[in-house]
Structure 1
Amino acid sequence: MKKFFMVVVILFILGAAGVFALTKIDFNRMNADNYYLQITEDGVQHETKLDDGTVMTSYSYELDAKNADGETIPIEFTAQKNLRKDAYLKMYVKNGDEVSSYDEVKFEDIPKKAQPK
């Protein structure tokens, strides 16, 4: 009976740790390279009509981004709203040029080599 109780407790702890990991860890940002860019123009608006008649609007961007070493790559990404001009973004990039997530950051938070001139 003690062994059964210990197995149940261990399974409960593992399950709780799994639920915690799923709710608190952003897997889109894991193992991603960081690039930085500044929004300099409005995004290109795209409207998609869903089956129920709802219209979804998204905005696409094509901008150059720099990593902490100052290397520049072109990045294409979409957002659900038109992003604020002159905002600085930290991009999470996987597989060379695939943006998985982004955050707005302050200019001071951007590494020196990646800061725009």
Structure 2
Amino acid sequence: MKKFFTVAGIIFLIGAAGAFALTKIDFNRMNADHYYVQITEDGTKHDTKLGDGSVMTSYSYRLKATNADGETEPLEFTAQKNLRKDAYLKVYVKGEDKVSSYDEVKFEEIPKKAQEKLK
């Protein structure tokens, strides 16, 4: 009986740790390359009509992105709102050019080589 409770306790702890990981870890940012962009203009507005008749609005952006080494490449991504002009974003890119997530950052948080390209 003691073995049963020990095994049950271990299984419970593993399950609790897994549930915690699923709620706290952002898998869109794991193993992603980091690029930095500055929002210089309004995004292109796109309205999509959903099955229930409601309209979903999104905004697309095509900007030059710079990595920490100062290398620049064009990136295209969408946002659920029109992003603030002159904001700096840390963009998470998976694969060739798939933007999976982004965060607004301060200019001082951007690596020096990328800062030089974004000025």
2:50 is the alignment partner of 1:50: yes
Distance 2:51 2:34 in 1: 36
Gaps of 5+ in 2: none
Query: Deviation of residue 51 (structure 1)?
Result: 1.1
Cα deviation 1:75-102 (Å, max 9, x = unaligned): 0000000000000000000102110000
1:1-117 paired onto structure 2 within 5 Å: 1-115=1-115, 116-117=118-119
Query: Deviation of residue 39 (structure 1)?
Result: 0.2
RMSD between aligned residues: 0.5
Gaps of 5+ in 1: none
Distance 1:61 1:48 in 2: 17
Query: Deviation of residue 44 (structure 1)?
Result: 0.4
Distance 2:50 2:27 in 1: 28
Q: Provide the aligned length of Structure 1 versus Structure 2.
A: 117
Distance 2:11 2:76 in 1: 43
Distance 2:113 2:51 in 1: 47
Q: Which contiguous aligned blocks of 4+ residues in structure 1 show a shift greater than 6 angstroms?
A: none
Partner letter of residue 99 of structure 2? V
Percent sequence identity over matched residues? 79
Partner letter of residue 94 of structure 2? K
Partner letter of residue 84 of structure 2? R
Distance 1:48 1:20 in 2: 34
Partner letter of residue 77 of structure 1? F
